Amino acid sequence: MYFDTQTLTQLVERCFDLSMSGAVPPATRAEYLAHGKRLRELLMRLLGARFDAASAEFQKASASLSDTNQELARAAQDVKQATQVVARLGELAGYLDQALAVAGKVIA
């Protein structure tokens, strides 16, 4: 049996995407980059490997791959949403500035 390299490829790509996201703290970006590189190396080795699907190691790795990929997808979406909210905050500030510009009297 072959390992699910397509899912692993998605996971590696998400690691690299998050490693370049300004919405992620620098230390965490470095960790995503390191994990992405390590997982990419493992992916290259797994491409030609065959496994006994009944082995505990294969089953544990497959389950962990699926779970981790789903969690990473949610984290990437959360980062995207957080970035969108930051943009909306800037937009809101602009609208508030415009509203204040037409206000009759502002008490300071």
- DSSP letter string over 36-74? HHHHHHHHHHHTT----TTSHHHHHHHHHHHHHHHHHHH
- Round to whole Å and give the CA distance between 15 and 41: 13
Comparing C-alpha atoms, which of 103, 81, 100 is closest to residue 92?
Answer: 100
Comparing C-alpha atoms, which of 48, 55, 65 is closest to residue 9?
Answer: 65
Using one digit for the tens of pLDDT, what is the confidence trace for 9-62? 999 999 999 999 988 889 999 999 999 999 999 999 888 888 888 888 989 999
- Round to whole Å and give the CA distance between 16 and 40: 10
Q: pTM score, two decimals?
A: 0.75
- Round to whole Å and give the CA distance between 36 and 90: 32
Looking at residue 12, what is its pLDDT?
A: 94
